[in-house]
A = this chain, B = another copy of it.
Amino acid sequence: MPTLQDVAKLAGVSSATVSRTFNNPELVDFATRSKVTAAIRKSGYTRNETARSLATRSSRTVGILTDTFVSNYFAPILEGASKLLGQYGYYATVAATEHNLSDAESTDSQIRAWRSLIDRQVESIIMLAFMESADLAHLAKEFPKSIVIGTSIDADQHQCITFDHYIGGRLAAEHLLKNGHHNIVMITGPTHKQDSVQRGQGFIDKLKEHDIQLGINQIFIGDYTFQGGRNAMRKIIESGQNPTAVFAQNDDMALGVASECYNAGIAVPKDTSIVGFDNSNLSTVMSPPLTTIDQPLMLMSRAAATLALNISYGRAHQTPLENPQTHFIPTLIERDSVANIRT
């Protein structure tokens, strides 16, 4: 691999000049510039970003911390962030924690992944909300150039892209109510997750305002997975409650519910209606297409990336991009999985 020096020699100029024709071409005379350009082409030179990063003390990369790549949640976030970053000449690099570990090991793995990002000199870190808020807050405190996406952590030295899960829950309830449902059941996400409790709270509150109490036997604990949704739906069927509608706190579980209905010969939405949450890829692909709450992950991750860029620009005394929207409001996407049973 040829270096700047090689090119300089070939063009008969100093390496400083070559560097300038790369970074500030307007500073170099037209004639020498074209000599240099020719030499670059001839030698097949490409810049060594590592050396550049070291010299400029800026890596132009932002880290993304996640727990897994195989997820409907992660993909649009990575897509949105990396494309936006790319538009500004920045890179995204991602670190994932290991899986299926004990709690202690898992914390360890998270810290290792996080540290690997810092070691690689990322200029900021976008953290997905896969761990407990307290842990997120802890990491964000250690590394103030953190952005958390999907949940809010109360500490102000970092920034959050938030989504109103509570309102989302209310919207789901409202839609069911509007369609005449009273005998309703809910499948939650992991109970220790903020977003899940908020979705649940919004749902419960809205129902209560219409004098419908969601009892303990109408709430089933899930885990945001397809299998979790299936298991919960099986229990629901076995319970003999025959709800007219089920609210699954995410689309993966909603698909599980639909699958279990299929097995049990329950028609959706005729026999039981389903509303999901997230508006993931899955929701358009199901039969029938799923009525769900939209969480605009792609937009949210673009916003996070914009925040990240502004952190970098601030450090470099460049003018920041416009401030992005930082709080997102859900909307309900009506498709075909809930029936109007109003008579």
Residues of A in contact with B (beta carbons under 8 Å apart): 46-51, 53-54, 59, 68-71, 75-76, 78-79, 82-83, 86, 91, 93-94, 96, 98, 115-116, 118-121, 226, 255-256, 258-259, 262-263, 281-282, 284-285, 287-288
Complex: how many Å from CA A98 to CA B87?
Answer: 10
Prevailing SS type, chain A contact patch: helix
Q: How many copies does the complex hold?
A: 2
Complex: how many Å from CA A78 to CA B259?
Answer: 28
Complex: how many Å from CA A97 to CA B72?
Answer: 20
Q: Are B96 and A46 in contact (CB under 8 A)?
A: no
Chain B residues whose CB sits within 8 angstroms of the CB of A47 once the complex forms: 119
Closest B residue, CB atoms, query A289 = B259
Taking A46-B115, A50-B120, A259-B285 as known contacts, 20 extra A-B pairs with beta carbons closer than 8 A to each other, sorted by chain A number, are A46-B118, A46-B119, A47-B119, A48-B119, A50-B53, A50-B54, A50-B121, A69-B79, A69-B82, A70-B76, A79-B96, A82-B94, A82-B96, A83-B98, A86-B98, A94-B94, A226-B285, A256-B285, A259-B287, A262-B288
Chain B residues whose CB sits within 8 angstroms of the CB of A48 once the complex forms: 54, 119, 121
Chain B residues whose CB sits within 8 angstroms of the CB of A119 once the complex forms: 46-49
